[in-house]
Amino acid sequence: MAAYQQAIDAIGKASHGESIYASAGISIKLSALHARYCRAQYERVMSELYPRLLTLTLQARHYDIGINIDAEKADRLEISLDLLEKFCFEPQLAGWDGIGFVIQAYPKRCPYVIDEIIDLAQRSQHRLMIRLVKGADWDSEIKRAQIDGLEGYPVYSRKIYTDVSYLACAHKLLSVPNLIYPQFATHNAHTLATIYYMAGENYYPGQYEFQCLHGMGEGLYQQVVGSIAEGKLNRPCRIYAPVGSHQTLLTYLVRRLLENGANTSFVNQIADPNIPLDKLVADPVQQVLAAAETTGQLGLPRTQIPLPRALYGSNRLNAIGIDFTNEHHLAGTGVDPTDYPTLLSG
Ligand code: FAD
């Protein structure tokens, strides 16, 4: 909390009263503000975490810089939406357009989350800053669903589906410029180019922006940021720079190494001279359609990843689990999430 307050002061003073869109902003992780940020601790999240979030936001509002809530694991999505709903109707934030939220494209729920957010922006009369990302924790999401014995996976099992979802969601965000300021965070040149054309050539400041991570996508954004006269695309790119000590930044660094090391990752593939250019910039929609022609069905999951219950093949069924973050499950099973510790010991 103290580190975020310090950072907001530093960024706020450096912004010199520029517009929210032109000045630097801050991204926060709610899990860094409260150790019990989870559905089972709903009351504490609302009574302890929410006031901290509000304090930081009022401080950001004082400087008129954007404050953004990072996206974490899929099991925190619903509680983060509850916080956002409460937040958007906060009287002290009325009429302010600096509220930011990150949406991941890899959960299968993504398009519906976007509809929900657009509706919220309309009802609460804020133009929300929405960063669209593909999602950083694909492996952990798959693993968690397997360990918990869930009925399915919360995320797509094939990367091209995430790519298609990203583009479909980008289209939704761009279609409501009065309600959403879209922020497209990607290092994938094909994704970026598609959005560039989707948004149209008549760009105006404040329409949308791209985002990259500090030290990544530099070659790509050198061609994007800058005037048309210089041969660039004249689109802004915000750089996300992590701040902290060596110890606190280590996990961030490891995540980036994993991300870049994955052989499906665009930044990995572009560095591989054996991958032909045509394959690198293949249209994900065409790829999905081509796969459907071979399999006879559209959108089939990857066969190499069995459903969590079928993890042990014909040997035995994986134990079934209850998803303690899923409102439908909780309502259907009659389990009160606050009884979780009792259930575990029982
Ligand atoms: P690409 O190489 O095109 O895509 C890689 C992505 O594809 C993976 O990250 C994963 O999401 C998806 N993918 C890979 N394999 C599969 C598979 N088998 N099935 C389905 N999908 C798959 N991430 C967060 O979760 N929360 C944040 O708050 C967040 N903030 C970010 C801020 C910035 C400025 C940036 C640039 C990224 C941020 N990310 C965040 C990371 C982001 O989610 C992606 O991990 C990263 O940008 C890679 O996506 P890409 O489009 O650049 O690359």
Atom from ligand 1 closest to the CA of residue 267: 2
Per-residue pLDDT of the chain (346 residues; tens, 9 = 90+): 999 999 999 999 999 888 999 999 999 999 999 999 999 999 999 999 999 999 999 999 999 999 999 999 999 999 999 999 999 999 999 999 999 999 999 999 999 999 999 999 999 999 999 999 999 999 999 999 999 999 899 999 999 999 999 999 999 999 999 999 999 999 999 999 999 999 998 999 999 999 999 988 999 999 999 999 999 999 999 999 988 888 888 888 887 888 777 878 888 888 889 999 898 899 999 999 999 999 999 999 998 999 999 999 999 999 988 888 888 878 875 555 555 444 444 3
CA–centroid distance, residue 281 to ligand 1 (Å): 17
Domains of the chain: 2-301 (3.20.20.220)
- Across 226-255, b (16+ Cβ under 10 Å) vs e yields eeeeeeebebbbbebeeeeeeeeeeeeeee
| Beta strand residue intervals within the chain, DSSP E | 26-28, 67-69, 99-104, 128-133, 180-185, 209-213, 237-240
CA–centroid distance, residue 136 to ligand 1 (Å): 5
CA distance linking residue 346 with residue 333, whole number of Å: 16
Residue to probe by mutation, ligand 1, list 129, 134, 144, most atoms within 8 Å of CB: 134
Per the DSSP assignment, residues forming a β-bridge with 102 are 131
57, 93 Cβ separation under 8 angstroms: yes
Tell me if residue 130 falls in helix, strand or coil.
Answer: strand
Residue of 163, 146, 149, 185 lying closest to 106 (CA atoms): 163
Per the DSSP assignment, residues forming a β-bridge with 132 are 103, 184
- Residues in contact with ligand 1 by the CB-under-6-Å rule are 70-71, 102, 104, 106, 133-138, 155-159, 161-162, 185-188, 191, 211-213, 240, 259, 264-266
* Residue that is written with structure tokens 């099973």 in the block: 333
129, 93 Cβ separation under 8 angstroms: no
